[in-house]
Structure 1
Amino acid sequence: MSSSGAAHLSEGPIDIGLIREAARKELLKLLDRCGGTKALVWDLPLTERFSLIVEFSLLKEHGVQRMFSLTGGKLNDSDVRHIIFVTRPEVDAMNLIAQNIQKEVREKKFHIFFVPSKSFQCKQRLEELGVANSLESIEEFRLDIVPLDYDVLSMELPNSLSDRLIHEDYSSVYLVARALNGLQRQFGTIQEIHGAGHYARAVCDYLKKISYENGDNENNAQPQINRLVILDRTLDFISPLVTQLTYEGLIDEAYGIHNATGQFPSERFFSNKKPEEETKSDKKVMLTSKDELFQDLRDKNFNAVGPVLKSKTKQIKEKYDERHDVNSVREMKDYVKNLPKMQEDKASLANHTSIAELIKEFTDTESFLDTINLEQELLNGIGTDKISQYIEDCLFRKEPITKVLRLLCLQCLTNNGLKPKVFEYYKKEIIHTYGFEHIITIRNLEKAGLLQPPWKLWNYNTIRKSLRLVVEEINEKDPKDIAYVHSGYAPLSARLMQIFSHPGWRSIEEVFRLLPGSVMSPVVTDEDSKKKWKGSLGSSRDTIVTLVFFIGGVTYAEISALRFLSDFETGGPKEEYVIATTSIINGNSMIKSFVESCNTKSA
């Protein structure tokens, strides 16, 4: 069972709350090894991730008195006995840690907790800086994967795709296998493993090796996950490039969602307060199924959000109006008993009404509408072979380079590569507009397979028609096809999962020859555990639980499409999907990872 505040994590196909509980116990065990008072010094990107598994009140119970962000120079004075640095294994962080240790005048015991794994390079850097002997201990906290919601797990490795494709750093492939091994130890051996894309087989091989080394072949836990499907992001670059049009997807496009939290302009949420009472900091809103209204809205096309909010407003008003019909003490007690829930619902409605208004303003802009129009043309194979007037206009206005490159990559992929003359024109204009350093950016995108065909046999039009990726008639308010998440385009990855479920990937072998990477032969991990699973539920199997693991990131629109497939009646056993990923991405963040990594390397 999940602890208080995380009960929603137990409401999915498997009890994901157990992952959170295991991580909490391991963290507290590490903390308790440092007896006495403690201060935690956080590598900033880790703070929100840790907030998903542990509260500060619980840390206080285990001796944590102060918390600081990891920055250079001297730490603030504190009377604690232990200073614990919680950091990613990055060399730059070691430089900051060394400064903190060297400038500390009081006698302290210093510790480092590496997340998710130790690094030889980091240890070597600490020795070079002369602080290795000042460390009481160096620990490894294997927070390989964190639950974002009842059916979504993320490793929070935002640069895993660019690291692998540009810098040939394949450590994330091993970490994926290690995360999967942890899931198997928690939920039992997965009977069938399938995969598609360049690195699906590598993950499977690593998983087998890790399981053997850990003696997990003797795992007697009852299997709760029936099938694992590993999808490499390089299999489908188009879906992240297309603008997401679900409620959750648009929040991510406009404002970003990080560790299940969105940040919005605070002034839009404090209309009843005086100006002096308003805060300048952003309004943070948790975006999980713990919020019932968000659970209803998240997977809907944005055009279907308004009617839901209107209906919810009417329901809440009717509940509050019931006070006028109270005629007895008992009825009054019942009304008062329900009041906290009504107030919670009202606050949630106010939040999502404000968010929906912000998203409406975003989607009503001329820039947004023109972008959607160009995307729809490109996805339909219209004007893909010539210089786009709209992309030219974006270059002229010097719009964010991520937006320009996102559209350019989409044009390239839908045209099976750009004509040399067209490509050279775009390249010249980008360098002229944004600077010479982006010669490397363009080279990165070419190397990744975004600004050139990702595979020698790639043919978008054949793939589009064979998999019915573009659907002409879409009812956005009452959808019958996963294409509703992009108002007419079905994410290729989700369509593959739909076909995987029925009639099976063998029915599209010719299509797979056009896609990057190969389909790995199914692996049956353990015949005995397979029999145990079948026998444990009687003669019929009502539900099949499939874990879909995206190596290189997944979008909220793809997650919504998979949830839609879970709810869609096929006439066979019910399909339940659990989605795991190296990170949650959108088109901007995916493109930006290549731009940023190029700047980092060229600095």
Structure 2
Amino acid sequence: MAANNAQLESSSTQEGPVPNLISTLRSDNKDQLVSLLTLDPLSNSLSFTYQGEDDDVNLPVAHKTRLVFATENLRSLLTYHTLADETVKSQANMKKAQGQRRGRSTLSSEEESLGIVRNNPYGIVGTRILFPNPRDDQDRHASDVSNDTIGLMGTGSGTEAVYNPTSSRSMFSNDDARDETDGANVVVYFIYPKISHIQAVSKAIRASSHGEAFSRITKHRIVFLPRITSLSKRILMDEKITKRKDVAVHALDINVIPIENDVLTCLEMDATMADCYVHSTPSEPITHVAQSLRKVQDVCGTIPRIQSYGKAGEMVLDRMMALRLEEYDPYDIDAQEQDEQETNPEIKAAIILDRMIDCVTPLVTPLTYEGLLDDLINIDAGIIKIETNILSPPEEASEPSGAVNSSNSADVERPKYMHLPLNDLDKLYVEVRDQHVEKFGSFLQQQALALKASHTNFSDKNKDLSEIHQFVKQIPIFTKNLKSLTNHINLAELVKRNSEQTEFRQRWETERSMIESETCYDTIEDLIASQYPPFRLLRLLCLQSLTNGGIKTSRYDLLKREVVQTYGYEYLFLLQNLEKMGMLKKRETFFDTTSSFATIRKQLALIQADVDPSDPDDISYVSSGYAPISVRIVQTAVKGWSGKEDVLRELPGRGVDIIQRSPPEDFLTAVRQKSGSTLDVWATQSVEKEITRIEDKPVLLVYYVGGVSYAEIASFRFLSRRMNFPYQVVICTTKIINGSSFIRSLK
């Protein structure tokens, strides 16, 4: 039986559970983006409609375009995941395209690694970043990572620098000398409807009006994603931008982007939790999520069964049903008939999760290969930015990669970085990404031995010409696999070195003690005294509060004062935001009481100390014994809450279970009606044939409002491969997060 189950697990399709959804979204997103990029500079409206395959675009546009993105994250989403072709995304074709470059090019190697090739039909001559990612030196503390990894993320002031097109030696950190030589006459700004983004773009446009280098620019395009708001229009008017004849304002209805075959993102919005629970302005993110959910259903069909957990999850469900009701036309007979005949939607059920129901999991250190890479290097929309010396280490080096002598830092050559995609196109990465830290090293060793055996087999002198010809045809694939294996071996060595450090082990043991409701106040005080990296420290502080029902008042005031005195007064505002979120709170009572986390831990069996990471039988392997709360909630919701109602009472917000009917109903009407069977019974009722393969299982969409961690993604993939779980899981999220990025987003 075990062998049969293993065979079933390995047979999951590489195309993903919903190939039609993924291909349709990618095609639609690309069509919208291309139609904007190929728009005539003298036009102010999106009158051009891109049609046909990429091969049909033979003539490049007449104008040259410079793209300016709000963040590096948004650049990755719109260039690599939206604009680039699948064939260009592979490393081999990228190298080939770079090798064919002749003469001067304004494109950097980083831009080419994101899928932008020279002589592209869209006239792109380069990209810039409006708000470069903060490089917080304090968060790259020597006690946090080894000397070999100090240079991974670069260095900087940690402040939010702004792109300035007028000076290569100004106070702004992301100036680019190419602004004066790239020949661009159209500048396109891709931004979110945020006040800071609009003001920064307005400043850049006004600055570009001065100087001879920018006199050739004929059009500035401000593009809002996914839509422009009334407040955005008002700010543009106040900034006196809308009156300029050389400025056009657009909106692209791109609100959900596939970054894996089973993972979709709603534009990687990093401020969702802050908007909902700190600033009390949930309208925008909730509307964006609801619209993305409607778009998914436009492609896959109306999802018949939807559950939500948490306040934000309920708001999304309410807004999504309101949008469906607004779009319904009682006089459109054809649409009604089509809706009534829709009996086989691609997605059978959905669960919407508010991140607030599980703030613990992102704070816990993951122990899978992908999770550790993100925790150490930061995976940005499926892409890591890493020093070239780490992937291609020099044979002889006097100093470890990334180590910088502070006394001679001005004389040291700045490290070179490259973008490395980590996604389904890398078949080796697909196999290794969800493996535990104790397993992926031996797995990569086996892959290396297999490649060596393949090469040794060819060395046999008794090969005939047909066998030699067959091997030669396999050389490109062999070279690609070898390059991928080399990259992941170097990355795995980096991860292993850091995971084997004493500091890493102590951090994991402290987290486990907190999860088991032990108090670690003295440990936290010692870490503050040693100037532990601030966001690492805040992760432990919040974890202590969440797992123990708060921190004793006397200890809380002391710890808060020490944090501010050690790291600076600016962290006082972050601490206040964490208090508003409920991630930090005082425990006023003098007597120890059972926390809500303790109840959830017991009822959902979060701790599984005997799990085998090398051959796991439970999702708790992702952190060596701790199962993510949100994934346990989905597991329980599928089976039904009978006997575990105490968990629902401890969760913030309430659980909602509705069936979407035709004609559409409003939210309150749907809630009042009985939903009927549990989701596991619903799964068996939704398929007509016997389930004997992974591909036969129906699809469950799990939507995280506020972000999902790689530990949770690995857990859902594990469940999808198990035949005792009735669904294949597709994950949609507002952003992929880790503990540090989660806390940083609340600033």
Structure 2 counterpart of 1:11, which letter?
Answer: G
Instruction: Return the alpha-carbon distance in structure 2 between the equivalents of residues 483 and 536 of structure 1.
Output: 29
Superposition pairs for residues 326-475 of structure 1, below 5 Å?
Answer: 326-382=462-518, 384=519, 388-452=521-585, 459-475=596-612
Q: 1:526 to 1:545 in 2, by over 3 A?
A: farther
Aligned partners of 2:350 and 2:700 also within 8 Å? yes
User: Does the 8 Å contact 1:94/1:122 carry over to 2?
Assistant: no
1:553 to 698, 707, 716: 707
Q: Percent identical across equivalent pairs? A: 29
Tell me, yes or no, if structure 1 residue 25 matches structure 2 residue 31.
Answer: yes
What are the ranges of 5 or more consecutive residues in structure 2 without an aligned counterpart?
1-12, 42-61, 85-115, 131-162, 167-178, 330-334, 399-412, 588-592, 665-674, 676-682
Pairing partner for 1:197 from 292, 296, 310? 310
Partner of 2:409: none
| Paired residue secondary structure (1:547) | strand
State the secondary structure of the residue aligned to 2:599: helix
Question: Cα offset for 1:77?
Answer: 5.5
Q: Residue 232 of structure 1 corresponds to which residue in structure 2?
A: 354
1:586 positional shift: 0.8
Tell me which protein shows more helix as a share of its residues.
1
Q: Which amino acid aligns with 2:209?
A: Q
Cα 1:242/1:525, change in 2 over 3 Å: farther
Q: Decide whether the 8 Å contact of 1:13 with 1:576 is kept in 2.
A: no
Q: CA deviation at 1:79?
A: 4.9
Deviates more, 1:192-201 or 1:534-543: 534-543
The TM-score normalised by the length of structure 2 is 0.73
How has the CA–CA distance of structure 1 residues 80 and 370 changed in structure 2, closer, same or farther, with 3 Å as cutoff? Answer: closer
- How far residue 39 of structure 1 moved from its aligned partner, in angstroms, is 1.1
CA deviation after TM superposition for structure 1 residue 60, in Å: 2.8
Q: Distance in 2 between matches of 1:434 and 1:143?
A: 39
User: How far did residue 318 of structure 1 move?
Assistant: 0.7
CA distance in 2, matches of 1:207, 1:316: 50
8 Å contact kept, 1:87–1:112: yes
What amino acid is aligned across from residue 433 of structure 2 in structure 1?
Answer: R
Q: Is the 8 A contact 2:609 2:624 kept in 1?
A: no
Q: What is aligned with 1:300?
A: 435
CA distance in 1, matches of 2:607, 2:586: 20
Matched, 1:99 2:206: yes
Residue 180 of structure 2: SS of its match in structure 1?
A: coil
**In the alignment, is residue 264 of structure 1 matched against residue 379 of structure 2?**
no
Does structure 2 retain, via aligned residues, the 8 Å contact 1:266–1:279? no
Do 1:162 and 1:593's aligned partners in 2 also have CA atoms closer than 8 Å?
A: yes
Deviation, structure 1 residue 273: 6.5
Match for residue 619 of structure 2? 482
Secondary structure of 1:193's partner?
A: strand
Q: Is the 8 Å Cα contact of residues 192 and 525 (structure 1) preserved in structure 2?
A: no
Where does structure 1 lack aligned partners over 5 or more consecutive residues?
A: 1-7, 598-603
List aligned pairs for 1:144-163, cutoff 5 A.
144-155=255-266, 156-163=268-275
Distance 1:411 1:86 in 2: 39
Residue 5 (structure 1) aligns with = none
**Do the aligned partners of residues 187 and 284 (structure 1) sit closer, same or farther apart at CA in structure 2, a change above 3 Å counting?**
same
2:191–2:198 contact (8 Å) kept in structure 1: no
Contact 1:458 1:516 in 2 (8 A): no
* Contact 2:199/2:239, CA 8 A, preserved across alignment: no
The answer to whether 1:208 aligns with 2:208 is no
TM superposition shift of 1:122: 3.3
Partner residue in 2 for 1:86: 190
Q: 1:79 to 1:441 in 2, by over 3 A?
A: closer
**Contact 2:348 / 2:699 at 8 angstroms: preserved in 1?**
yes
Q: Is the 8 A contact 1:94 1:126 kept in 2?
A: no
Deviation at 1:291, TM superposition (A): 0.9
Corresponding residue for 2:63?
Answer: 37
CA 73–120 in structure 1, closer or farther in 2 if over 3 Å, else same: farther
Maintained 8 Å contact 1:246/1:302: yes
**Partner SS for 2:702:** strand
CA distance in structure 1 between the aligned counterparts of 2:508 and 2:184, rounded to whole angstroms: 55
Aligned residues: 577
CA distance in 2, matches of 1:505, 1:399: 42
Counterpart-to-counterpart distance in 2, 1:535 and 1:378: 42
Shift of 1:29: 2.0
Question: Which amino acid is the alignment partner of residue 157 of structure 1?
Answer: M
For 1:110, which of 209, 215, 220 is the aligned residue? 220
Question: Could you tell me which residue of structure 1 aligns to residue 281 of structure 2?
Answer: 169
1:588 lines up with 2:740 in the alignment: yes
Offset at 1:507?
Answer: 4.1
Matched with 1:310 is 445
Say if 1:409 and 1:339 are closer, same or farther in 2 by CA, change over 3 A.
same
Residue type at the aligned position of 2:569: F
CA distance in 1 between counterparts of 2:360 and 2:698 reads: 28
Question: What do residues 467-501 of structure 1 show as CA deviations (whole Å, max 9, x unaligned)?
Answer: 10011201010001100001010000111111222
Distance 1:27 1:215, change over 3 A: farther
Q: Partner amino acid for 1:447?
A: K
Is 1:510 matched with 2:646?
Answer: yes
C-alpha separation in 2, matches of 1:82 and 1:270: 37
- Length-normalised TM-score, structure 1: 0.89
> How far apart are 1:539 and its partner, in Å?
5.6
The residue aligned with 1:11 is 16
Look up the SS of the partner of 2:644 in the other structure. Answer: helix
Map Cα deviations across residues 90-137 of structure 1 (whole Å, 9 max, x no partner): 333333343245334236133222122213333333333333222453
| 441-450 or 70-79: bigger deviation | 70-79
Match of 2:704, SS state, is strand
**SS of the residue 2:698 aligns to:** strand
**What is the root-mean-square deviation in Å for CA atoms of aligned residues?**
2.8
State the distance in 1 between where 2:698 and 2:634 align: 13
